[in-house]
Every structure is written in structure tokens, then in C-alpha cells.
Structure 1
Amino acid sequence: MRLRILLLSFLFIACKDKSKDFSQKNGTQNNQGEFFVSFNQLDKSYCNKQNKEISYLYNKLINKNDFYGQFLVAKNGKILFEDYEGFAYIEKKDKNHKNKPLHIASVSKVLTAAVVLRMVDEGKIGLDDKISKYLKGFYFDDITVRMLLNHRSGLRHYGYFIETDVKWDKKNRITNQDILDLINSGKIHLESKPGTRFAYCNTNYALLALIIEKVSGMRYHEAMDKLLFKPLGMKNSFVFDYEKHHDTVSQTYKASKLRLAFDHLDLVYGDKNIYSTARDLLKFDLGTYSNKFFSDKLRKEIFKGYSYEAKGERNYGLGIRLREWKEAPTLTYHNGWWHGNTSSYVTLKNDTVTIIALSNKMTHKTYQTKKFIALFNPIYPVKINDDKDTGGASE
């Protein structure tokens, strides 16, 4: 925390061009209200230098001629580089642009976790409360809220157990309540003993969405809007409602540009199904620096690793992935993949840098975003030319 305060206190001074400065014009001050954080402005020469370096690396790592999506890099709320390419809906000739929401896939988990964690700060939820306190009759009594957040519950992925254990009729779209009912039926066994190992599992976040509904007294869609999107000025963010949105939202495509259909899993929310923009996600990221958004006490719980049964630098906090390096500050990030949508949210808390990539046409290049951190601090052990570390569905 001391290091973060020092870095925030001694950053660079002002850019004259404020047209893309979210900390002064388009984000924190006007749209984030109580969560406003005042970042020092950046020197214009620094901004220009970074823009050129980011642009060069972007053109090298991501083929913009084949990219359908949004890409943004910011420091201290100042957008240093952004680009919007391709079509959100090819058949309607609807192009991607800065205000066009895209499906952010599992980056939705970061936002679901944020609402749960703010409820923890408000004393409405306890991290170590049992799930049965909120979801009455929950079958596995040892699982806690914390275990859902850090993927140590031992629960199995609903996409798998409905195939193998209950033979779900795919003509019917499954809901969060269906998932809970199946678990409570006793027909779904655990993959591991709760609290013993990490296993990334969408079921955890489908249940967290139900807890949000129980505690807030609102449907998840409404709760996310009232408790997160509106307070942060995320005007182009919403939770997908199939009946309302399926033919108006941005669509998802294979690499061949063949449009992918919605399926029986597309009603489940919490783990996915948030549509947002790179600029809105930047507003969210800036808000997380505010002590009014997360308390310092809770922040320590969020950004620490919980899974050390396997050696390595990869870990998971509460709703966020971590790279815990000995030689550099911890990297916090989350990737996503749903149908043809891929996403990456990378944030350097010590360097106040945000990197966001969203794509609605299938590509793994979205996961190249972690390589851009090398442009901000050479201490990070990331190799720009290393193609082995691009991330994937499990990321």
C-alpha cells in the first residue's frame, strides 16, 4: 500500500490534450461521483511516446484488418491509445465503435465479484458465511462465499454436469435457478472437497449472482445496473436478457465470420452475459482505486492469492486472476471466452495502467494484452516476442 501511495503521488505532470483524459473530463470526475480518484496528469511528451510504442506493438500483435473489437490502453485514466475495428453485427452493417457494447465473457466475473465484495464491505455479506445462509437448503453445507469467489468450492461446471448427470434437454435454456435446483437435488457430486484446491468453475459465479439477488432484493440485471453501472457512469453496460436483446446486441462470429447462434446456456448470468465497452471497463477500473469503492482491509483480501497447492506464478484472488512474480509487483487481470467472444482486462495497480481488449470474432490475439505491460515498466518479466503465453479459455 505504501508503494502504491508513493507511485500515485509522484507520477508525471500534465498533458495539454485532455480530450481523452478520463480523470478530468470523460470519466472519474463527471461520471464516477463518490468514487472519483484524482490521478496526477501525464506529460504530453510521455503520452506521445507511449502512443507510438503502443501503436507499433498493437499493429505487430493484433492484425487490425482482421480484428473485430475494441482495444484500449490508459494510464492514470488518460487514454494513451484506443482502436475500434470490424462489425458488431455484420448482417446489419453495424460497426464497432467506442459506445458499442460487446459481450465481455468471463470478465463479467470481475464485475459480479465487485458487487458481492461491496456488499461485504457494507456488512451485508460475510466472506466466510456459508452459502446456505443466503440460498436456503443449499446442498453442500461447507461451501462459503469466499470459496465461490476464489474458485475453491469444489463444485463442478454446470455446462458439464447437465450433460453427464441429468441429461438436460438442450431445447430448453437453463437458468441460474435451474442450476441451484439441480445442485440441491443431490444428483450432482462435488469435484473436490471444498477449500482444498483451485478449479476454475462458472457455477461459482452463477450462484454468486443468485446471492446478489437475495441480498439486494433485485433481479441481478437491475442490481448490477443500480449498484455498479450507474454509480460508475458505465452508460453502455448492461446484463443480457435473451428475449429483449438477442437480435439487437452485438453478435458473435467464428474466425470465418460465420455468425454463431445463441444456445441453451445463454440465459445464465454472473459468470458471463455482461455487455460493456472498453471505455466503460476503464471507468470501472478507475473506480477500484477509490477507498470508497473497496476498503483497504477488503482490498488486502481481494488481491492476494489463495491457491498454493501447485507451484507457479499463476494464482487467483477474489474475482481476479494474479501473476505473482518475485521480481515484480503482482499483475491483476482476467480473460474471457464465450462463443466467439474473447476478452482481456489487465490492470497494473502499482503503475495505474489499464489495458482492455474485447473481440466479438473468434481470436486468441485478445490475450496478447499482457505483453503491453512491458512498455510501462521493464521490471515485469514479460517477453513481447514470446508466443507461448497468450492465454486461453482457462485463463
Structure 2
Amino acid sequence: MRMPRRRYQIGALLGITGLAVAIVTANAVADPTKTDGQAQADAIRDAAKSTGTVVVVDDGESVKHYGSGTTTFGKDDVPDADDQFRVASNTKMFVSTVLLQLAEEDKLDLDAPIGDYLPGLVKGEGIDETKITVRHLLQHTSGLADNLTADVIADPRLQWNPPTPEDMVKLGLRHGSKSEPGAKFSYSNTGYTILGILIEKLTGQRVGEAIDERIVKPLDLKETSYAYAGDKEMKGPHFRGYLGVPPALFEVSGHEPGIWAAAGALVSSGSDLTTFLDALLNGDLLTDPSLEQMKESFPDAHYGLGLQEAELPCGAAWGHTGHVIGYVSYSFTTGDGRSIFIGVNTSSTGLTNPAEEMSKALTSALCGEDTPPSDSVTKMISDDLDEAASQAEAVSDKKSKIYDKN
């Protein structure tokens, strides 16, 4: 297995303070062939009204990071590429990779019904476990409803009594079937929670242990770990997550990770995710046939097997978007050594949408400085931010009930 690169060229960071919180800006000399990454990080943070933003760019020769603001409200902690972050649905890339590895080992048939492996788990009105395949779950074409609705995420009972993955599956299956398996794309975190249970069944390990053994340790991802139910504290230097806009912020770093389960419970960093994407797309984790399956998008959905496709002016990029309460992140690569991670540690309740600034940063990092972003990438990010805002608003309305007993 080819070992990934870890090369950093850190920009000079200059801090200034204002209001009641230390808001840090930074100046760095970017690669002359690229847009000024520091200016982009500052623009994203300003547009998002965020406490902190980090942009990590791997141009194939070196890794640069640009921190803007602070990781912690009230402190002068400039965001770093190695700061831990709740990376939300970026978790799905890791889950899919593990399952495709198991398929390569003949321990799993992607086109077999989930009922063959987990009989009796996937049931409900109009749901047939003999028709929903593992591939359907990986590609969000199972017809199962999403379990991470705003009311579930804002349910204080799930904070006081951390749910099991099986609990979270039941919350999705209660809605019955939305469509016939394979008929249409409909994003379902329920499906990935089921896939996490499947990994545990096939490996005899907890899902985080399987990810650790198969991905984290081989790639030396030092900041990446899986947060189980009840694991509300990140272990190393990390971004704290917030609701609102400075200075009116409410910390939500300890929102119960058991809610996300295998759909989004991973903790990682910008440096680790760019390393992971570089390794994945260069064939260090999967064979070429498996990687091609992973990249094969469902028609009009731009989504493969745990991998999103971004249509850039210079061609396709692959990765994932992610949001959980207090955290928004984007990780994409072109597969030729260029990759980017963008992290913002504030969930606005619909007051801001920095999609245009994020799209510019993503496009310039992957295509070059003078390349304008495509409308499809801007829309992809905007839609994701709108969904994040709706969830944040639901949590904001109930935050005293959710956090008072934590």
C-alpha cells in the first residue's frame, strides 16, 4: 500500500481581536498558480458569520492550510489543518470503502438483499428486506426515509438517553417506504446507519474499529476517530461547534453523536481528509474495479456508492459534503493529487449561506485560479447549507431542553 503524503506549508498567521471574542485573520502567500487561499478562508468566514473557518488545499506537491477566525469563541486559537472537526456525512466515504473492501474479500455481495445479512432489521410499511440490496443502501436508492429529520435531531430525549444504531434505524423505518428500491435517488441516513450495523455483523468489530483497522491506521490518520453514542468530547485540539452568529452564539459541540451513527459520527481533520481522499482515488484502498463502482453515479443524482460527484469546469471531482449541528464541511478531490477540505464551525439558523464563496474556493483549488465556479457546485453547497440551517433552527428552538441536563 502506498503511504500518503503529509506535507505542510503553513502561511504566516496574524491575529487581531475585536468585540467580545478574538476574531483572527491571517495573511499567507499562496501558490502563484492558485487563488489566494487565505483571502478565500476569510471570505467564507465573513459570509458564514462563522467563528472559525479552515481551508486545506493539497495541490499534488504540498499541502497548505489557511485558518480564519478562531476554533473557540473568546480565544485566539487560529484554525489549523490538524484541528479535529465533526465531519458529518464525510463518514459515508469511510463506511462505503470498508464495505467495498469486504466485497473484494468475498465477504459481501453488493447486490444481495440486506435481509440476507440482517434478517428482520429492515421492516415496516411497504418495506421488503428481500428487495433492498446493499448497493441500494450505499447509493441512497433504497426507498427508505431519512431518520435525521429536524424533529429527531432536536429531540432532547436522545441527548439524555443516547440511542443505539438500532434505535436510529427504527426512527427511519417508522415512515415506511418512499419508493421502490432502485427506482429513484432519495438521500437516507437511515440506510447508512443500517450499513454500519452490517459492517459490525460481517467483521465482528465495532464499526469504528473496522474503519480504524482498514483505513485510519494504514494511512496514519492521526486525528480521525469514530464517535460512539455518549462520546460527546473530542480528544485532541478541535473546533468547538456553535449555533447562531457572533457574538450571539450557543455552543453545541457536545450534541449526541449516537444520533448520527455510521451516517455521520466520524471525527477527523482537514489534513486527514485530504490524505484519505488522495489515497482513495489513487487506488491505495480499493482495486480499480471497486473504485469505478464507487464513482458510478445514479442518473441525475451525481452520487455513487458513498461518494458525491461535483461537476467542475475542469472535470469531475469526488468527495462528500457534511453537516451536523455546529459543523459544516466539504471534502473533494480530482483524483490527480489535488484535493480540498473546507470546514466552518458555526451553524447559522438560516441567516447566512456562503455557498458562493465556498464554491469559488473549491473550484480554484481544483481547477486553477481563474476558473469560475459552476452553477451546479454552488447549488449543491447551497442546498446542503439550507438543510443544515433548518436542522439548526429546530435545535435552536429547543436548546435549553436539549442541553440543560447534559
The normalised TM-score by structure 2 is 0.72
Number of residue-to-residue matches in the alignment: 341
Alpha-carbon distance in 2 for matches of 1:207, 1:221 = 14
Cross-structure match for 1:98: 81
Cross-structure match for 2:53: 69
Cross-structure match for 1:344: 330
Instruction: Please say if residues 70 and 359 of structure 1, whose CA atoms lie closer than 8 Å, have aligned partners that are also in contact.
Output: yes
Inter-CA distance 362–264: structure 2 relative to 1 (3 Å threshold): closer
Cross-structure match for 1:83: 66
**Deviation digits for residues 291-327 of structure 1, max 9, x if unmatched?**
341111112211121134xxxxx521111112457x7
1:260 aligned to 2:255?
A: no
Instruction: Please say if residues 331 and 341 of structure 2, whose CA atoms lie closer than 8 Å, have aligned partners that are also in contact.
Output: yes
Inter-CA distance 203–380: structure 2 relative to 1 (3 Å threshold): farther
Q: How far off is 1:169 after superposition?
A: 5.3
1:251 aligned to 2:240?
A: yes
Inter-CA distance 134–87: structure 2 relative to 1 (3 Å threshold): farther
Give the 5 Å matches for 1:278-317: 278-308=270-300, 314-317=301-304
Instruction: Please say if residues 343 and 358 of structure 1, whose CA atoms lie closer than 8 Å, have aligned partners that are also in contact.
Output: yes
SS in 1 for 2:192: helix
Q: How far off is 1:149 after superposition?
A: 0.8
Cross-structure match for 1:330: 316
1:189 aligned to 2:176?
A: yes
Instruction: Please say if residues 343 and 366 of structure 1, whose CA atoms lie closer than 8 Å, have aligned partners that are also in contact.
Output: no
Alpha-carbon distance in 1 for matches of 2:157, 2:326 = 23
Q: How far off is 1:257 after superposition?
A: 2.5
Q: How far off is 1:73 after superposition?
A: 1.0
Instruction: Please say if residues 173 and 263 of structure 1, whose CA atoms lie closer than 8 Å, have aligned partners that are also in contact.
Output: no
SS in 1 for 2:179: coil
The one of 368, 382, 388 equivalent to 1:391 is 382
Cross-structure match for 2:18: none
**Deviation digits for residues 114-141 of structure 1, max 9, x if unmatched?**
2112222222221111111221224332
The residue type paired with residue 271 of structure 1 is A
The one of 151, 162, 168 equivalent to 2:140 is 151
**Deviation digits for residues 267-304 of structure 1, max 9, x if unmatched?**
44111111111001111012113434111111221112
Cross-structure match for 1:177: 166
SS in 2 for 1:315: coil
Inter-CA distance 193–381: structure 2 relative to 1 (3 Å threshold): farther
**Deviation digits for residues 29-49 of structure 1, max 9, x if unmatched?**
xxxxxxxxxxxxxxxxx9731
Inter-CA distance 66–253: structure 2 relative to 1 (3 Å threshold): closer
Inter-CA distance 125–260: structure 2 relative to 1 (3 Å threshold): same
**Identity percentage of aligned residues:** 22
Inter-CA distance 105–244: structure 2 relative to 1 (3 Å threshold): closer
Alpha-carbon distance in 1 for matches of 2:101, 2:194 = 17
Q: How far off is 1:330 after superposition?
A: 2.1
Instruction: Please say if residues 367 and 392 of structure 1, whose CA atoms lie closer than 8 Å, have aligned partners that are also in contact.
Output: no
The residue type paired with residue 158 of structure 1 is N
Inter-CA distance 367–233: structure 2 relative to 1 (3 Å threshold): farther
Alpha-carbon distance in 1 for matches of 2:6, 2:95 = 27
**Deviation digits for residues 324-366 of structure 1, max 9, x if unmatched?**
57x75223231111112101012112x4310101122226437
The one of 211, 224, 235 equivalent to 1:237 is 224
Q: How far off is 1:176 after superposition?
A: 0.7
Alpha-carbon distance in 2 for matches of 1:215, 1:129 = 14
Give the 5 Å matches for 1:104-119: 104-119=87-102
Q: How far off is 1:241 after superposition?
A: 3.2
Alpha-carbon distance in 1 for matches of 2:327, 2:57 = 20
Cross-structure match for 1:275: 267
Instruction: Please say if residues 7 and 62 of structure 2, whose CA atoms lie closer than 8 Å, have aligned partners that are also in contact.
Output: no
Inter-CA distance 78–243: structure 2 relative to 1 (3 Å threshold): same
Inter-CA distance 153–124: structure 2 relative to 1 (3 Å threshold): same
1:359 aligned to 2:350?
A: no
Inter-CA distance 87–240: structure 2 relative to 1 (3 Å threshold): farther
Inter-CA distance 266–332: structure 2 relative to 1 (3 Å threshold): same
Q: How far off is 1:168 after superposition?
A: 10
Q: How far off is 1:103 after superposition?
A: 0.3
The residue type paired with residue 307 of structure 1 is P
Cross-structure match for 2:5: 23
The residue type paired with residue 218 of structure 2 is P
The one of 372, 377, 385 equivalent to 2:367 is 377
Q: How far off is 1:391 after superposition?
A: 2.5
Alpha-carbon distance in 2 for matches of 1:92, 1:244 = 24
Inter-CA distance 207–162: structure 2 relative to 1 (3 Å threshold): farther
Cross-structure match for 1:228: 215
SS in 1 for 2:302: strand
Alpha-carbon distance in 2 for matches of 1:211, 1:76 = 35
Q: How far off is 1:92 after superposition?
A: 8.3
Alpha-carbon distance in 1 for matches of 2:208, 2:84 = 15
The normalised TM-score by structure 1 is 0.74
Instruction: Please say if residues 41 and 68 of structure 2, whose CA atoms lie closer than 8 Å, have aligned partners that are also in contact.
Output: no
